[in-house]
Amino acid sequence: MRRYHEVCRRMRNSDKVFVAALNGRTLGGGCELALSCDIRLMADGPYEIGQPEILVGIIPGGGGTQMLTRVLGAARALELCLEGAPITPARARDIGLVHRLVAPNDLMDEARTTAARLARRSPVAVAALKRTIYEGGSESLEKGLHVERTGFLETSSTATTQRAMRQYLDEIREVESSGRELATFIAERLPRWVEGSVVDF
């Protein structure tokens, strides 16, 4: 269990984004591994996800109780673990256990597209963001804000980030100087930034 917890800890502490593509039954340890991923996509079909351990008299041991509590809140986590009954992909999406449902035949393409897009994010920013959310989010607000400030200062001081921020502001100034609305920038240019095709981090 300690080795498993260590693998999951390394995933959370990594500067890489882990995308889970769930295309079948995701129960017990599979659910716990998925919870250690940053983005969870699930095939929309006759599949199930959950923590059935209590049905044989044990509790989740791969981090399920802790990760579910952080993802779903204590009430939903407790209910899911107490019931032990798997839930459908639609229910998992509705309660926030998975991020998106995808047609089964499109699941791997969607996972690869998502992973490729997020891989273009700044590794420094990804690591700081994950640390701020995973660690800071389980602390008091004061401590969490301290973790966020630290991450903000760390990420904003890199040369690549400063170059990206200058380019972003230059694009906004270009739109404004042409007399067009800022909404034009958002409609025309922001999608390129979201795709990660403007700056090479």
Question: Which of 53, 135, 148, 171 is an active site residue?
Answer: 53
Q: Is 53 a catalytic residue?
A: yes
- Residue 171 burial (CB < 10 Å; 0-12/13-18/19+)? middle
Question: Which of 6, 32, 79, 171 is an active site residue?
Answer: 32
- Residue 197 burial (CB < 10 Å; 0-12/13-18/19+)? exposed
Residue 82: how many other CB atoms lie within 10 Å: 11
CA–CA dist 133, 68 (Å, integer) = 15
Q: Is 32 a catalytic residue?
A: yes
Residue 122: how many other CB atoms lie within 10 Å: 19
Whether residue 93 contacts residue 42, with contact meaning beta carbons closer than 8 Å, is answered with yes
Handedness of CA 94, 98, 100, 101 (dihedral sign): negative
**Residues with active-site annotation:** 32, 53
